[in-house]
A and B are shown apart, each in its own frame.
Chain A
Amino acid sequence: MSAVNRRDFLKVTAAVGGGLLVTINLAACRDRGAAGGAKAADPSVFVRINPDNTIVVTIPKSEMGQGVRTSLAMLVAEELDADWNQVRAELAYYDPKFGDMGTGGSSSVRQNWMPLRTAGATLRAMLVATAAREWGVDPAECTTDNSFVHHAKGDRKLHYGGLAAKAASQPIPAGVKLKAKSEWKLMGKDRIGIDVGPITHGTAQYGLDVKVPGMLYASIERTLVFGGTVTSFDKAAALAVPGVKDVVEIKGVGIGVTVHPGVAVVATNTWAAMQGRKALTIQWDAGPHAAESSESYLATMRAAVEKKGDETVNTKGDPDGVLAKSAKVISGVFETPFLSHATMEPMNCTASFKDGQVELWSPTQYPDMATAEVAKALGLKPEKVRVNLTMMGGGFGRRINPDFSVEAALVSKAIGQPVKVVWTREDDLRHDFYRPCSVHRIDASLGADGMPEAWRHRVSTPSIDVSYQEKPPEGGWGPNETDGSANMSYRIPNRSCEYTLQASGVPRGWWRAVSTTHGMFAVESMIDDLAAAAGKDPVEYRLAMIDGVWWKQPPDFPEYPFRADRLKGVLQLAADKAGWGKPLPKGHAMGISCGYDHLSYAAEVFEVSVVNDRLRIHRVVVAADAGPVVNPNGARAMLEGGIIMGLSAALKERVTIKGGGVAQKNFDSYSLLRINAAPVVIESHFVETDTAPTGFGEPAVPPVAAGLANAIFRATGKRLRTLPLDIKLA
C-alpha cells in the first residue's frame, strides 16, 4: 500500500474555544481515490481535541449498523493513544468538494485504514513534541497512554486537552511510524459500539426522527406498476382531511434515480398525511411493463440457460467439447427470487428548500450521489445542496440510491416549506431496488479421479446495471451479474460462464453482498453435488481444488489479490471448529460452503436436523478472513448478522412480481426470519492474515443458502435448488 503524503492531507489548526482541530483530506489519500485520480479535495474528516480532553472524530461514512462509527474512531484513537472513554463520534455532512463519501462494498475500514491511522499517529507526535518542549526534554524520552503524554524520567505527565491548543502551532511531522499489531492497545480487542447508549435509551436520532422548524409531513401515493404515470387526480377529498395542507404531483425521475410518479399529500403530522393520501383519487397510465410477472421472467430465463448465453463472461479450456463427449453429465438448475432490503427504518428524508438552496437530512449511504441527483432534479448547482447524514435504521445497499432524497427535495420545492417524506412499509416494500431474480444452470462432468473435468455455468438475470445506465459496462452486463459465478475459485480445467440479460421493468439494486448471494448458492450447491457423486468428503473435495486464480481478476483492487491460501484457511478453520467429520447427535447433519466476496473470505458450517420434515438449525460455525480485525466484537456482529440475513433469504423471502408491480405489501406477506427460527448458536472465528484489512459487512451472507441446502441434503438426501428453500421450520 502506498504511503500517504502526510503534509498534503493533514491540516492542524487551533480550534475555536481552545483545543485543536485536525482536518484530513481523505480524497487526496485514499487508496482508490488517489488511483482514480480524484482531484485534491477539501478535508472531509475532522479530529477535534477539546480542552476538556474529549476527542471528537467526525466519521466520513454512513452508520447503518455495521459499527463504522466505532471502528473508524478506533483507527484514530489507537494511533493517537487516546483514552477511548473520551472519544466521541460525530455525524458528517456532505459537500461535493469532499470527494467520495459513499458507504458500501464493505469498504469503510479498507479505505480509511491508512489515512485515519496516519492522522492519529501524526497528531500524537505533535502532542509529544509540545509536551517535550514544555518540559525541555527530548521527545524520544516521552511516551503516551490514555490521552496523556508521560515523561517517566521526570515523573510527570500532561493531558492531551491541555496540550492541544499549543500543539496546533507545531510543524506537521512527516514519516510518522504506525504501530505494529503487537503494539495495539485498543484495536484487536472487543469494544462496545459507540452508540449503544443512545440506542438503548431511545435517544439515537435516525432519519425518521429528524425535526426541523416549520416542518410538515408528507406521504406519497406512487404508481404500483413500475413505469406507470399519473394521468389525473382529484385532491378535494384529501384536502378535506383535518391537518392536510397541500397536495402536489410528483413527476417521475428516470434511470439512475428512479423516483416513481405519484401524488404527495402534505400535512401537519404523519397520520394526517397518510389519511389524506387514502382519500386521493388518482387515474394511472400503467405504462409498458404492466404485463410482466415473476412467472414471465422465469419462463424466459429458464429457456435462456438451456442454450448458449448471449455473453460469454469467461472460458478456459473446452467445456462444451468435454461435456459433449462425457458419458455422464451432472446438471443442476438453481432459481432465486427478487429480494427486498426491508430495512427496519422505512425510507424517509427531510428536505428544506428555500431561496434557491436545499438542505437535506437524509439516511443515505451515498450523500455524494444524493447531492448530485438532487441538484440535477432541482436544476441547482451542487454547491446549493447540502446533505446532512443521519443515523440509519439499516441500509444493506438500499440507501445507496438517491431516490428518496430527490423525492423529498422535489416535495419541499413544490410546497416551499421544509418537509419530511415518510414512506410506509408498503411503500418501502413495493418501491425498493430489488436483488435480481436469477436462473442458473450448471453442467459438469467428472474425471476418472472424481474431480470435475468440465463446468459450464449459465446465468440469466435482470441486471442491476440496467437500472442505472443505458449502455452496458465495458465487458457487457455479464461480469457484474456473475460475481460469485464466473469468478468461483475452484480449479477445473475446462470451465466457462455465460450470461443472458433478462428484460424487466422492476428496479434492481445492490442487496448486501450483491450478485454472490445467488451465484454462490448455485456454485457451492453444485460442488457439493459433485463431491457426493464422486463419493468424496465435501471439505477435502474443495480443498483439493483451491490452489490458484482461475479467472481474470478485475483491475479495480490490485492491492487485494485473491489468495487461495486465505480461502483454504477459512475453510479448514470452519471445518475444524465445527468438528467436521466427527460423530454427531443422532439425526444431525452438517453442510459446508465457502466463498470470496468483497475481497474477504468466509466459510460456514451448518448443523441441522430434519425431524418430521421440519428443519431445525442447531449451530452455525463461521470462519472469516478480512485481515487484521479492528473490533472483534463488531466483526462478530457482522458475521452473525450476515448469517441471519442469509438464512432469512434462504428460508423466507420472496418478492413476487404480478401485473408489473410487487404482489407483497407488508411483513405479513413478505416474511423475515424471526427469533424463534434463528439458530441456537452462531460461533464466529477469524483468520487474521497479515495484510491490509478489507471488510466484514458482506462476506458472511453469500455462503449461507448453499451451506444450509448442503446440510439439508446430508440430512435428508434431498437436494433443494430453489430459493427460498422449500422446507418447513420446526
Chain B
Amino acid sequence: MKLLVNGTAHEIDAPADMPLLWAIRDLVGLTGTKFGCGISMCGACTVHLDGAPVRSCSLPVSVAQGKSITTIEGLANGGVDHAVQQAWQQLNVPQCGYCQAGQLMSAAALLAKHPHPTDADIDTAMAGNLCRCGTYVRIRQAVKLAAEMVAGGAK
C-alpha cells in the first residue's frame, strides 16, 4: 500500500482497517501525530487529508490511499513555519505539548477556511481538541494572532 505523507511516498504493509494513525506512527515512522483516545474524542491525532482535518485514529488507512496526507511534520512550508506555529511559539502556548500537534492541525485547517475567525468560530473548530494542561485561553489568542499574521502576508 502506498501512502503520500508530507509530499513523500511511503510503501507500507498494513491491513486495510489499520487506523491511519498507527500506519503513520509505527509504519511510516513519523511520531508527531499523537494517540489520545482512539475514538475521535480528543483530536490529538488530527492530520490533513487533501487539506481537510481528519481524526487519524478512526480513519482506516485504506481511505487515505491515493490522497495527500499532511502531518505536523509537514505543516511548515519549505522551512518557513506556518502562521499557527509562529503564533503558538510567540505566545508560548504549549505546556506538555502532547495535544498541540492536533491543535495546530485543527487551527491551520480553520484558518484555511475562515481567515478571520470569531471567538465562536474558534471555539467551534477547536472544541474537538482536548488539552489537559489547560492552554485554551492561549490557543484562542494564538489563533487570532495567526489570523493577523496571515492577513499580514505570512503563510
Interfacial residues, chain A to chain B (CB-CB below 8 A) = 63-67, 190, 192-193, 195-197, 199-206, 208-209, 211, 217, 242, 269-271, 342-346, 391-396, 422, 424-425, 633-634, 637, 640-645, 648, 666-668, 672-676, 678-682
Contact A678 B100 (CB under 8 A): no
Candidates A269, A271, A345, A640; contact of B137 at CB < 8 Å = A640
The answer to whether B35 touches A641, judged by C-beta atoms less than 8 angstroms apart, is no
Residues of A within 8 A of B85 (CB): 200-201
Residues of B within 8 A of A395 (CB): 96
Smallest Cβ-Cβ distance to A195: which chain B residue: B97
| Selected A-B contacts with CB under 8 Å, 21 pairs | A64-B96, A65-B97, A193-B92, A193-B94, A196-B89, A197-B89, A200-B89, A201-B75, A202-B73, A202-B75, A208-B35, A211-B31, A344-B130, A392-B96, A425-B38, A637-B92, A641-B134, A666-B41, A673-B134, A678-B140, A680-B119
Of B22, B44, B81, which contacts A344 at CB under 8 A? B44
Contact B101 A202 (CB under 8 A): yes
CB-defined contacts of B26 to chain A, threshold 8 Å: 217, 269-271
**Which chain A positions have C-beta within 8 A of B72?**
200-202
B117 within 8 A of A: no
B151 close to chain A: CB less than 8 A: no
A641 x B133 contact (CB < 8 A)? yes
Q: In the complex, are the beta carbons of A637 and B130 less than 8 A apart?
A: no
CB contact list, B50-87 vs A, under 8 A: 71-73, 75-76, 81, 85
The one of B14, B32, B71, B130 that contacts A667, using a Cβ cutoff of 8 Å: B130
A393, B98: Cβ atoms closer than 8 Å: yes
* Structural contact, B94 and A196, CB atoms closer than 8 A: yes
Q: B94 near A676 (CB under 8 angstroms)?
A: no
Q: Please tell me if the beta carbons of B134 and A675 are within 8 angstroms of each other in the complex.
A: no
B89 x A67 contact (CB < 8 A) = no
Chain B, interface SS category: loop
Given contacts A66-B95, A269-B18, A392-B96, 15 further A-B contacts (CB under 8 A): A192-B92, A200-B94, A201-B85, A203-B73, A208-B35, A342-B132, A344-B99, A394-B96, A425-B37, A425-B38, A634-B92, A643-B134, A666-B38, A675-B122, A676-B127
Closest B residue by C-beta to A638? B95
Question: Cβ of B127: which chain A residues have Cβ within 8 Å of it?
Answer: 674-676
Contact B15 A242 (CB under 8 A): yes
B97 touches A199 (CB 8 A): yes
Q: Is the CB of B76 within 8 A of A675?
A: no
Contact B97 A204 (CB under 8 A): yes
- B134 & A642 in contact (Cβ 8 Å cutoff): yes
Whether the Cβ atoms of A65 and B31 lie closer than 8 Å is no
CB distance from A20 to the nearest CB of B (A): 31
* A201 CA to B42 CA, complexed, in Å: 19
Residues of B within 8 A of A342 (CB): 132
B25 at the interface (CB under 8 A from A): yes
Q: Are B92 and A199 in contact (CB under 8 A)?
A: no
A201 touches B130 (CB 8 A): no
A271 touches B97 (CB 8 A): no
Assess the A269–B22 pair: CB atoms within 8 A: yes
Contacts A344-B44, A394-B96, A668-B41 hold; do A675 and B34 have CB atoms under 8 A apart?
no
A682 in contact with B35 given A199-B100, A672-B132 (CB within 8 Å): no
B126 within 8 A of A: yes
B8 in contact (CB, < 8 A): no
Is the CB–CB distance between B96 and A345 below 8 Å? Answer: yes
User: Smallest CB-CB separation from B25: which chain A residue?
Assistant: A270
CA distance A192 to B85 in the complex (A): 13
Task: Output the least CB separation between B99 and chain A (Å).
Answer: 5
Q: In the complex the two chains form, is A641's CB within 8 Å of B41's CB?
A: no
Report chain B residues within 8 Å CB of A63.
96
Q: Find residues 127-147 in chain B having any chain A CB closer than 8 Å to their own CB.
A: 127-140
When distances are taken between beta carbons in the complex, the residues of chain B under 8 Å from A644 are 131, 133-137
Chain B residues, Cβ within 8 Å of A202: 30-33, 71-73, 75, 101
Residues of chain A contacted by B122 (CB below 8 angstroms): 675
Question: Does B19 contact A344, Cβ atoms closer than 8 Å?
Answer: no
Q: Which residues of A lie under 8 Å from residue B112 when comparing CB positions?
A: none
Q: Kindly list chain A residues whose C-beta atoms are within 8 Å of the C-beta of B35.
A: 208, 270, 346, 422
Instruction: Note all chain A residues with C-beta closer than 8 A to B135.
Output: 637, 640-641, 644
Taking a contact as CB atoms closer than 8 A, the residue among A270, A391, A668, A682 that contacts B39 in the complex is A668
Question: Which chain A residues lie closer than 8 Å to B92 at the CB level?
Answer: 190, 192-193, 196, 633-634, 637
> Does A394 contact B37, Cβ atoms closer than 8 Å?
no
CA distance A270 to B88 in the complex (A): 30
Contact across chains for B130 and A672 when beta carbons are under 8 A apart: yes
Contact A345 B98, CB 8 Å, known A193-B92, A641-B133, A667-B39:
yes
Among B14, B37, B104, B134, the one with the most A-chain Cβ atoms within 10 Å of its Cβ is B134
* CA gap between A114 and B131 in the complex, in Å: 33
A199 and B29 alpha carbons, distance in the complex (Å): 17
Which chain B residue lies CB-closest to A217? B26
Q: Nearest-CB distance from A676 to chain B (Å)?
A: 4
* A645 contact from B38, B81, B104, B134, Cβ within 8 A: B134
Smallest beta-carbon distance A712→chain B, Å: 20
Q: Does B115 make an interface contact (CB < 8 A)?
A: no
Chain A residues whose CB sits within 8 angstroms of the CB of B36 once the complex forms: 344-346, 425
Assess whether A195 is in contact with B94, with CB atoms less than 8 Å apart.
yes
Q: Which of B29, B32, B97, B119 has the largest number of chain A CB atoms within 10 A?
A: B97
Are the C-beta atoms of A344 and B139 separated by less than 8 Å?
no
CA–CA, A564 and B127, complex, Å: 41
- In the bound complex, residues from chain A placing their C-beta under 8 Å from that of B136 are 644, 673-675, 678
A394 — which chain B residues lie within 8 A by C-beta? 96, 98, 132-133
Identity of the chain A residue whose Cβ is nearest the Cβ of B134 in the assembled complex: A644
Q: How far is the CA of A196 from the CA of B41 in the complex (A)?
A: 25
Shortest Cβ distance from B61 into A: residue: A271
| A65-B96 in contact (CB<8A) | yes
Docked CA distance A494–B82 (Å): 62
Q: How far is the CA of A63 from the CA of B96 in the complex (A)?
A: 7
Q: Tell me the smallest distance from the CB of A680 to a CB of chain B, in Å.
A: 8
CB pair A675 B37 closer than 8 Å:
no
Residues of A near B119 (CB, < 8 A) are 680
Whether B137 contacts A681 by the Cβ 8 Å rule is: yes
B-side contacts of A206, CB under 8 Å:
34, 98
A665–B94 Cα distance when bound, in Å, is 27
**A346→B137 CA distance, assembly (Å):** 24
**A contact residues around B75 at 8 Å (CB):** 201-202
B96-120 vs A, CB cutoff 8 Å, 1 = contact: the mask equals 1111110010000000000000010
A66 to B95, CA, bound (A): 6
| A203→B100 CA distance, assembly (Å) | 12
Closest beta carbon of chain B to A335's beta carbon, Å = 24
Measured between C-beta atoms, what is the minimum distance from B155 to chain A in Å? 15
CB contact between B95 and one of A203, A641, A648, A668 (< 8 Å): that residue? A641
Q: Which residue of A lies closest to B32 (CB)?
A: A202
Which B residues are in CB contact (< 8 Å) with A674?
127-128, 130, 136
Docked complex Cα distance between A66 and B26 (Å): 29
- A245 and B65 alpha carbons, distance in the complex (Å): 27
